[in-house]
Structure 1
């Protein structure tokens, strides 16, 4: 004996679904552009801003092992290193 279920969708379901999909695609493309616009290396202040942390917290992270490079006379942090380090900091 098979059990049947009936789902009744609103008349404008197709329109709502289309709108939600379009919004999701626009948001995803926006994130892709944002990723492409990020620099490969950050100055220390830029790195703190990108991570949404204070400079003091960034200094702590550097002491904890966040790699820093010196380019010319400026300390820089690779974006990929910052992102990888932040992954370990998620709660």
Structure 2
């Protein structure tokens, strides 16, 4: 169940990161605030089921990768070799962290 909470929290994090970039009206900002609160509620739920340090790391990494992919797919961000290497290094680091923790 912790992984489901992390996934939901990360999806909400991507949503509020996008909201911070695109919000221009009060309703948009309120929606962004709801996403922020929701993401942290699910992060707290995940942290209660697994090590909080792991929950936070996975939350941040999944949110970072999700936001990166959103920027590429929907915002027209160009992709270069450095950004791809950086994302791969982040993913490898998370996988190693998970392996070390087991």
Is the TM-score greater than 0.5?
no
- Higher fraction of helix: 2
TM-score, scaled relative to structure 2: 0.28
- Higher fraction of strand: 1
Question: Which structure ranks higher in relative contact order (CA pairs < 8 Å, sequence separation ≥ 6)?
Answer: 2
TM-score, scaled relative to structure 1: 0.31
